[in-house]
Structure 1
Amino acid sequence: MSEPTINFHIQTKITQFKVPTELIKKNFKAIQKLIEKQKKATEDDIRKIKNSSKLPTQLKLALVRKTIKSFEQFSLKLQSLINKDQSYASRILARLENFKELEEFTVNRNKSYTEFGSEGMDKRDISNVSALDEDDQNLDLHHMNLINWYREQTNLLIIEYLIKSNSRRDSNIGIQLLKCMSKTNPKLTKLIDYDLLDNFNKIYVSIVKEHDISLVISWFNENRAFLKKVNSNLEFEINYCKFLSLVEKGEVTEAIKFSKENLSCYGNMENYQEQEKENLEENLRKLKEIGGLLIYLAIGGKQTSMENSSVPFSTRMITHSPRYKEYEKVLSNERWDSLSKCFIDNFVNLYGISRNHPLFIYLSAGLSSLKTKSCYCNTENSIFKTDEPNSISQGNEPLTLTDKKYRGPNYYYKLLKKINHCPVCSPELYKLSRNLPYAQLITSIFNNPFKLPNGNIYPFDKLLVPSEKYLSEKNDLLRMGKVKDPLTKEEFLIDECVRVYPA
């Protein structure tokens, strides 16, 4: 299938239905717990009222009013959860309607049924034709409304990327952009799970940037049942970071007490299941690293006060130790990176979303279909060499072009007095495109194409028939039974070249 169909788009966007489905399940369980809790509380209150026959009337009325008030609060909470359920369900319906719009832009290329009619065809033939029609509904890529549909999907990809990659907790540029665009297109808010992504971003930023674990602890408590089911190691990572934070603050007694209550249990192999072997090895390694630190804390930590000191904890206590470098690594920011990675793994596993930004995935697919060996990011065809500096004179002064800012059409091609609008070579996409594979493109078919071992294809005459400019060089190569790649300057044996036949 060379052209996109409706089924292709549904398969690539399947996660759009996964997230709201998981949110509905989670919300439904919250409703169940709320009802069971209120049911038990109401039964207890009624039992108290019935068994308090000797109490004065005013006290009985007070108990009744308390029960009524509790039930009213329950009704408000229940209504809030019901509204959430309806909101999540509306997201699924909106996304179904969004894909249903594609039916207006399809081009049915199977004309057999409409041309010959249905008379004389048995049920099996009709079902086969229907199946072909369903699979052969290609999209009219020149339809103006389809182009607008793609623009809308592109906007959603950009918004999702901005929400997830926002570096501040107080304001999110992706949310602001979504609110701005939803004024003209209200359905955008139902086509993206902005609240979930914003919550993910806030937790991630709080861990990596602010070294605050309050939000991730709250998220862990909300999803404790699921995390226990998948053998998550998030609780250990949280306790590990909390212990080292107490150490850095100089709260020695609290750190020792916390380690006994919350970290010592992870050193017991009996507390792990068979599937948690990887977690066991990693946790034991980290516990061994902080073992020596605990000894220092237990022996001399009480005599060291750090609360009013401007000197870091690691410098005051462990500078003179021969294992100082190991302790310094333990107290580094590496623990926050480990906690954030563990949080991302569990979050992705819970909601079934992609670890990578979908925007980068689509860009990579498009760039790899455009990337050729003529792109300037290939060092053989570029002034951007990694082994030696290159420069172009601009006026009287030579201009070094090893800096990234000179990549792309804004500088590089202007200095060379050339025009190039290739997205693969652009400075914005260079970092993403440089590691992508080359596209296997054939812009024209020439006679007798031969493929060299490096994958390049040239006409037979260009490889073997020497030109006047390179007459002696090619004759020498041909005598040795070799040919030279005009692009990469590599030499290969003629026997290693293969005749190819374009499809």
Structure 2
Amino acid sequence: MDKGKLNYDGLFNLEQPLLKVPAEQLKKAARISQRYVEYVMKEITTEVNKLSKSANSCSPEQATKSLDDMVVRLQKLKRKLDDTKAEEALYVERTKVRLNHLKELMTITSAESPAYLQWCQTRLDRMLVDYMLRHGYTETAAKLAADKGIEALVDLQLFADSRLVEEALDNKNCTECLKWCNDNRSTLDKISSTLEFNLRLQEYIELARCGKKEEAIKYCRKYMIDWQDTHMKLIQQAMAMLAFGPDTQCEPYKELWDESRWDIIIEMFKSDNHALHNLTLQPLLTMTLQAGLAALKTPSCYSDENRTINCPVCAADTFGQLAQDLPCAHHVNSCIVDRLSGVIMDEHNPPMVLPNGYVYSSESLQALAAENHGMVRCERTGENYNIATARKAFIL
């Protein structure tokens, strides 16, 4: 295979969310717009029918007032549709920009060309912005996107809206998340989400925690009864927990009273939000790093005696932690890396064996000998040898 040839399929597999996010946002905007049109037109139709039936008994003033009210509603509908149209145009334009970004890649034929390096730099900037957005560094992410001119290639608004919901849940408030569930109910039903039920259950629990048992029972009858076919056992447990206090050690009521349920709900929201917009659960930066680390990781990386300075997996305090749970790479052809310099030893920089059996590159030993009057010191044992005692090793 050509060393500089690009793997387009592999690159595009990782770039699917880039196009799917604005597409989902466009569908959502169109869906909300359609729902609003149907709601207003249903009201208008009802008013027209009522006016038609009472034509003989209705005074001209009442008829005029009803018609004026309908005109006001239609004007409001028009303004709403204009706003929605502008929002949809934004998502369409964003999709075009992202398509052009991917189209640039198709014009690049070599991984060693300057154009590919520039494209990769833009891609890295996108990954960094995405990573910061997912971890709550919204302002920093927005500044980086503005500095690099990639606002259309990242999802600042999406994560900003998501952050508001997460902050509300962190403050033990379900209102924003319930509103989000209502706006996305049809899609959440398709992925069999249980987020809304858990939000209703949590609001019920908080009422019970405040000692408002009667209100909690009314709340359950009003909002939770719709899930009796799929969550009857949990609903029964929720009703029975009223007989136990928040300090109970009896399961499953102890788990229901536990404050950590809020953290579980936040994670559920993140998971559903990512699924809704076809986002990966992990940041793309993390996935890319792990893919690269998995190709480099060997059992020797976690051996103190065999660490090399240029191997990222050998850096135990940084990339080594990220690669800890990754499988080791299967290398058909091995290479020998110098422990001192981190460079690969080959025919131009052959490996040299010291009398104690440890191997270093010819260039490293010559550099040490030049500094110490022909003597070299083994880094592993601390023994000193004349460079003339080093023997050349041959790689098979």
| TM-score by shorter chain over 0.5 | yes
Distance 1:28 1:194 in 2: 20
Is contact 1:24–1:85 with CA below 8 Å preserved after alignment?
yes
Query: d(CA) in 2 for partners of 1:161 and 1:61?
Result: 58
Report the equivalent of 2:117. 147
Q: TM-score, normalised by structure 2?
A: 0.73
Unaligned runs of 5+ in 2: 338-353, 358-379, 381-395
Distance 1:433 1:229 in 2: 35
SS at match of 2:312: coil
User: Helix, strand or coil: the match of 2:89?
Assistant: helix
Whether the 8 Å contact between 1:20 and 1:89 is mirrored in structure 2 is: yes
The residue that corresponds to 1:314 in the other structure is 246
Q: Select the residue among 14, 36, 39 that pairs with 1:37.
A: 39
Once residues 221 and 46 of structure 2 are traced to their aligned partners in structure 1, the CA distance between those partners, rounded to angstroms, is 39
- What is the CA distance between 1:224 and its match in structure 2? 1.8
| Structure 2 counterpart of 1:293, one-letter code | M
Q: Percent of counterpart pairs with the same letter?
A: 20
Corresponding position of 1:204: 166
Change (3 A) 1:379 1:332: farther
The SS at the match of 1:105 is coil
Q: For residues 115-137 of structure 1, give each alpha carbon's deviation from its aligned partner in whole angstroms, at most 9, with x where no partner exists.
A: xxxxxxxxxxxxxxxxxxxxxxx
Rate the CA distance shift 1:61–1:255 in 2: closer, same or farther, 3 A: closer
Deviation at 1:185, TM superposition (A): 4.4
Alignment of 1:66-465 (within 5 A): 66-106=69-109, 139-141=110-112, 143-166=113-136, 173-174=137-138, 176-186=139-149, 188-207=150-169, 209-263=170-224, 266=227, 268=228, 271-272=229-230, 280=231, 284=233, 286-287=234-235, 289-290=237-238, 292-296=240-244, 314-315=246-247, 318=248, 323=249, 327-375=253-301, 377-378=302-303, 420-424=309-313, 425=315, 427-439=317-329, 440=331, 442-443=334-335
How many aligned residue pairs are there? Answer: 338
**1:390-419 alpha-carbon deviations (Å, 9 max, x no partner):** xxxxxxxxxxxxxxxxxxxxxxxxxxxxx9
| Structure 1, unpaired ranges of 5+ | 107-138, 167-172, 273-279, 297-312, 383-418, 446-466, 471-486, 488-501
Answer yes or no: is the 8 Å Cα contact 1:49–1:60 preserved in 2: yes
Contact residue 178 and residue 189 of structure 1 kept, 8 A = no
| C-alpha distance in structure 2 between counterparts of 1:22 and 1:431, whole Å | 35
**Distance change (3 Å), C-alpha of 1:379 and 1:436:** farther
Relative to the length of structure 1, the TM-score reads 0.59
- Quick check: 1:256–1:294 contact (8 Å CA) kept in 2? no
Q: Which residue identity is paired with 1:72?
A: Q
Question: How far off its partner does 1:345 sit?
Answer: 3.6
Equivalents in 2 of 1:45, 1:421: separation in Å? Answer: 76
User: After superposition, what is the alpha-carbon deviation per residue over 1:482-503, rounded to whole angstroms, capped at 9, x for unaligned?
Assistant: xxxxx9xxxxxxxxxxxxxx9x
Contact (CA 8 Å) 1:237, 1:338: kept in 2 or not?
no
**2:207/2:216 contact within 8 Å kept:** yes
CA distance in 2, matches of 1:45, 1:327: 51
Rounded Cα–Cα distance in structure 2 between residues aligned with 1:46 and 1:291 = 47
SS of the residue aligned with 1:353?
A: coil
Whether the 8 Å CA contact 2:195–2:269 is kept in 1: the answer is yes
Distance 2:71 2:222 in 1: 41
Q: Please say which of residues 420-429 and 69-78 is displaced more in the overlay.
A: 420-429
Matches of 1:249 and 1:87 in 2, distance apart?
45
- State the shift of 1:46 in Å: 4.1
Question: 1:145 Cα shift?
Answer: 2.9
CA distance in 1, matches of 2:237, 2:305: 47
For residue 394 of structure 1, what is the aligned residue in structure 2?
none
Distance 1:201 1:469, change over 3 A: same
Distance 2:39 2:221 in 1: 34
Aligned counterparts, 1:28-67, within 5 A = 28-47=30-49, 51-52=54-55, 55-67=58-70
1:328 to partner: Cα distance: 4.0
The residue identity in structure 2 corresponding to 1:146 is Y
Deviation at 1:373, TM superposition (A): 3.9
Q: Residues 378 and 291 from structure 1, CA distance in 2 versus in 1: closer, same or farther, beyond 3 angstroms?
A: farther
Cα deviation for residue 73 of structure 1 reads 0.6
Are the equivalent residues in 1 in contact too, given 2:105–2:116 (CA < 8 A)?
yes
Q: Tell me the CA shift for residue 28 of structure 1.
A: 2.0
Contact 1:49 1:64 in 2 (8 A): no
- In structure 2, the CA distance between the partners of 1:178 and 1:231, relative to structure 1 (3 Å rule), is closer
Structure 1 residues 345 and 67, CA gap change in structure 2 (3 angstroms) = same
Counterpart residue type for residue 340 of structure 1: I
Residue type at the aligned position of 1:179 = A
Distance 1:337 1:265, change over 3 A: same
**Bigger shift: residues 360-369 or 52-61:** 52-61
C-alpha distance in 2 between matches for 1:262 and 1:42: 30
Counterpart residue type for residue 162 of structure 1:
M
Q: Which amino acid aligns with 2:39?
A: K
Structure 1 distance, partners of 2:191, 2:299, is: 45
Change (3 A) 1:34 1:314: closer
Counterpart amino acid of 1:17? L
* Displacement of 1:53: 5.5
1:330 corresponds to which letter in structure 2?
L
Q: Which residue of 2 aligns with 1:449?
A: none
SS of equivalent to 1:98? helix
Task: Report the alpha carbon displacement of residue 76 of structure 1 after superposing the two structures with TM.
Answer: 0.7
C-alpha displacement of 1:260: 4.2
Deviations 1:257-295 (A, max 9, x none): 3334444665x5xx24xxxxxxx5xx62x4565454223
Aligned-pair Cα RMSD in Å: 3.3
Deviation at 1:74, TM superposition (A): 0.5
1:75-101 CA deviation, whole Å, 9 max, x = no partner?
110111111211111121111100121
Task: Give the superposition deviation at 1:324.
Answer: 5.2
